[in-house]
Structure 1
Amino acid sequence: MLSETLTPRILKRLDSLDEHVFNIRNDVIESLRDELRKLRKDLKEKRDFRIEDISTLSNRLTGSSGQLVRHDEEQVFKVQQGTCDCGAILSKYESLMMAFKREKSENIMLRKEFHEMRKQHGFEIGNVSEKFNNMDSRLNNAEKTLRSEIDTIKNEKMAQLRSEIITIKEENNCRISRNEKHQDF
């Protein structure tokens, strides 16, 4: 009876914990995405600013030397990406995701273990209940047998006592009649 009330509460708590972890995970993911957006925006601004600086410097240099110098924006972008801390953020994001996956798999394993324990517990309760029912049945049968034997013994004793009472009454009647005869003489 106690396990029947504990099981739903435990399952409810596991579901609540699972939902809480899911919400935390979503909050962390969303916060990481926001940070990545901000970093991308900052990097784009810095890249654009540096490209402008390089273009300005290039124009000054070409203007002063008279040569045409070509700058590669893609190369500048690659250099800018190298200085970004995106790898660390991505690494943190991946490690968080792995931690959440491990936690989820542990939750799944715990749920399986819980269900196995619940089945085992149910099986054991069934066995104990069956044994209890068998013992109850045997006790009821023993009680009926004892009551029957007691009734039989009671009836026999009552019959025996009635017989003795009748015998004693007859003896007393005989004595009384003898006494009456003796008194008459």
Structure 2
Amino acid sequence: MTTTARIARPGDHAAALEVWLRANTARGKTPGPDRVARVRAKLADAALVVVAERVGDVVGMALAEPGPDRDGAGEVLPELCHLSMVFVDPDHWGNRIGQPLLDAVYEQAVRQGHTLVHLWTGEDNQRARRLYDRAGFLPSGRADLLDTANASSTSPGPCDRARWLGDHDRRVTWRTAAARAPGGRGRWPNPRWCR
């Protein structure tokens, strides 16, 4: 079956939200109504939403936005694209849906002038870590505890974006350059880290 990834149209946001909700629920991290409302609003306002389709059905989604320095506490860096969400419908886990989503985000990041893609993921999220490793992301070596009990529900900072990880989970950051190696495949060049 062929997977196609493309920029989401406004009519895709409900399906993207459903993918996000189903994936979190399948991982045992069912979000509450407030979180669902925030993600719905974020999808409507995001700089970039990408969906993956199979046979006309949305089976994956990714959301990216300009990245602020100092893990969300600083000014937006023009070169940085923050990959905020990548989710695949659990019925399609293991079918390599994530790579086309990442490819579409990379393509748009380069078009928008970004040279670096950055993300946080749960330290124990092995499925995501395998995807990011295959895609050429390198762990930055940085990790911290995500304290969602103290995260502001209105703050757009890293804790809010990664709230789904749960109280006091460890998270790690991964980064890569947005320009692919020659030929468009293979490992990416060494990243230029943020300040």
- Regarding TM over 0.5, the answer is no
Normalising by the residue count of structure 1, what TM-score does the alignment of the two structures yield? 0.17
- Structure (1 or 2) with the larger CA radius of gyration: 1
Structure holding more strand per residue: 2
